[in-house]
């Protein structure tokens, strides 16, 4: 089952996007990035995309509010490769048939707040967190509260 089918599964009642790139149908993630990879992402010769080898560069971009030693030891080594083609492929996401919320992360350096707000404008509900791109690392309790409130409102 492809992700688009999962996103529109009849049992899905509410989706929540947290500081997420959300391309519209026909638009790619690369389009949202302005056609250029940010400095914390590196395109390899084999067509794979990985995070920068410099853990501090990555931390500053996606979770500057997470302790540096913890990030370098526990988070940075766990980032997985993705293919460049997956970032360049146009979205085939179906029109949503359920509620959807977007959580804007106000200290995000990976996806500018203005870009998040533009994407969030198509959602049913928008919430905000004073966090980096990764609130699950920097403020998991606050994120859990937001997710709980969102599910209770569904």
CATH of 3-153, one of 3.40.50.10300, 3.40.50.300, 3.90.1150.10, 3.40.50.1820: 3.40.50.1820
Rounded-to-integer distance, Cα 52 and Cα 1, Å: 31
Which strand ranges, in their side-by-side order, compose the sheet holding 14-18? 14-18, 99-105, 125-129
Residues ≥6 apart with Cβ < 8 Å to 123 = 17, 100, 101, 102
Rounded-to-integer distance, Cα 18 and Cα 146, Å: 10
Q: Cα dist. 120→8, 22, 60, 98, 115 in Å? A: 18, 9, 23, 15, 8
Quickly tell me which residue has 């971009």 as its tokens.
61
What averages of pLDDT result for each successive group of 10 residues across the chain (154 residues)? 59 88 86 84 91 95 95 93 86 81 95 92 94 96 93 68
- Check if the beta carbon of residue 42 is closer than 8 Å to that of residue 52: yes
Residues facing 51 on adjacent strands: 41
pLDDT of residue 1: 39
This prediction has a pTM of 0.86
Per-domain boundaries in the chain: 3-153
- Check if the beta carbon of residue 123 is closer than 8 Å to that of residue 17: yes
Q: Which helix (H) or strand (E) holds 5?
A: helix 3-7
Question: How deeply is 50 buried, as exposed, middle or buried, from its count of CB atoms within 10 A (0-12, 13-18, 19+)?
Answer: middle
Residues ≥6 apart with Cβ < 8 Å to 145 = none
């Amino acid at each position: 089952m492809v992700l688009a089918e999962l996103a529109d599964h009849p049992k899905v009642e509410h989706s929540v996007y947290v500081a997420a790139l959300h391309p519209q149908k026909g638009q790619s993630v690369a389009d949202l990035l302005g056609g250029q990879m940010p400095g914390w992402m590196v395109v390899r010769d084999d067509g794979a995309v990985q995070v920068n080898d410099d853990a501090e560069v990555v931390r500053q971009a996606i979770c500057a509010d997470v302790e540096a030693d913890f990030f370098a030891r526990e988070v940075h080594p766990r980032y997985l490769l993705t293919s460049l083609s997956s970032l360049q492929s146009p979205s085939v996401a179906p029109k949503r048939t359920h509620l959807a919320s977007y959580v804007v992360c106000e200290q995000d350096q990976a996806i500018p707040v203005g870009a998040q707000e533009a994407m969030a404008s198509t959602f049913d509900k928008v919430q905000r967190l004073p966090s980096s791109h990764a609130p699950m690392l920097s403020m998991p309790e606050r994120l859990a509260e937001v997710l709980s409130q969102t599910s209770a409102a569904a």
